[in-house]
Amino acid sequence: MSDIALKTYTERANVHPNAVAKKLLRLMDEKKSNLSVAVDLTKKNQVLELVDKIGPSICLLKTHIDIVEDFDADMVQQLVALAEKHKFLIFEDRKFADIGNTVKLQYSAGVYKIASWADITNCHTVPGEGIISGLKEVGLPLGRGLLLLAEMSSKGTLATGSYTQATLELAEKHNDFCMGFIARRRFPGLKSDFIHMTPGVGLDVKGDGLGQQYRTPEEVICESQSDIIIVGRGVYGSGRDAAQEAERYRKAGWEAYQRRISKQ
């Protein structure tokens, strides 16, 4: 077990150099939640209603803002108000993948102005270091954080081996802005304390017929030592009450974390 995986989120928050990571780790212990819900719905009101329901159970809301058909500036204001009401951070899962100059514009401008409201966003590293430098020029002065996609949950992903390794090195080099990874597991031997977030989490099914692969909170948090579970359809796609489902995942993730930190 890695040393960092045995520490509590608060112990890590107390010494963490990145402001967003510090805030996130603090509120994880405060809310007893390592759950991020991926709200992949296409109507503004559906999104806002669901977020208000699940808000008490999550530490981080994950959005795909570009799938919302009736997006407007008011939606962002309401999301930010819900984040304050329920105390969670917002992660826009934009998966930037272009050259530095283009991602700077995509992050700061256009319809969505992501940098103005999302505490966290993420990018692929396929373009090389320039993508991080470009996003950092916009995000660092605003106190934002970046996650690198070091691995993916989907079947046949090409983000493996030397690609993953090179991604970890880029994160270490830019650890003022890179606060963590999207990954399937905690990477051993890192110098900085990166927050590892893992999608592809489900308690009831193993896949979705389109390449998604699900593992349980126990496998992800306890065995693979990741920090945050990202759950989408498991929470809102079963037809059962979403607030209750979010609580079920929050509990499962939290209990797995408690088992992990007790393995001293």
Binding ligand S5P (rule: CB under 6 A), the pick from 58, 152, 229, 256 is 152
CA 231 and chain centroid, separation: 10
Q: Verify binding: residue 145, ligand S5P, rule CB under 6 A.
A: no
Q: Is the Cβ–Cβ distance between 120 and 90 less than 8 Å?
A: yes
Residue 136 appears among annotated catalytic residues: no
Residue 233 known to bind ligand? yes
Alpha-carbon distance of 200 to 206, in angstroms, equals 9
Given 23, 29, 31, 93, the catalytic residue? 93
Told to judge if 98 belongs to the known catalytic residues of this protein, a careful annotator would answer: yes
Is 184 labeled as ligand-binding? no
Query: For ligand S5P, which is the closer residue by CB, 13 or 47?
Result: 47
In the window 206-235, what residues touch ligand S5P (CB under 6 A)? 212, 230-234
- Please enumerate in sequence order all residues whose Cβ is within 8 A of that of 143, keeping only pairs 6 or more positions apart, or say none: 19, 20
Give yes or no: 204 in active site: no
Q: Does 25 bind ligand S5P (CB under 6 A)?
A: no
Q: For residues 206 and 130, what is the distance between their CA atoms, to the nearest angstrom?
A: 36
Give the CB-nearest residue to ligand S5P: 232
Shortest Cβ distance from residue 94 to ligand S5P (Å)? 10
189 is in an annotated binding site: no
Nearer to ligand S5P among residue 26 and residue 248 (C-beta)? 248
Q: What is residue 24's three-state secondary structure?
A: helix
The answer to whether 12 is a known ligand-binding residue is: no
129 binds ligand S5P (CB under 6 A): no
Are 57 and 28 in contact by the 8 Å Cβ rule? The answer is no
- When asked if residue 245 is in the footprint of ligand S5P (CB under 6 A), the reply is no
200 binds ligand S5P, rule: CB under 6 A? yes
Which C-beta is closer to ligand S5P: that of 128 or that of 211?
A: 211
Helix (H, G, I), strand (E, B) or coil at 151: coil
Cα gap 244→75, rounded to integer Å:
25
Q: 222 is written with which tokens?
A: 């306890």
Q: How many residues bind ligand S5P (CB under 6 A)?
A: 16
Compute the least distance from the CB of residue 260 to ligand S5P, in Å: 22
Token pair 């270091």 is found at: 129
Alpha-carbon distances, residue 41 vs 55, 82, 213 (angstroms): 16, 17, 20
Contact 117, 88 (CB under 8 A): no
On whether 208 is known to bind a ligand per the annotation, the reply is: no
Beta strand 228-231 with 60-63: parallel, antiparallel or unpaired?
Answer: unpaired
Out of 22, 32, 95, 251, pick the active-site residue.
95
Give residues in contact with ligand S5P (CB under 6 A). 38, 40, 64, 93, 152-154, 182, 199-200, 212, 230-234
- As annotated, the active-site residues are 93, 95, 98
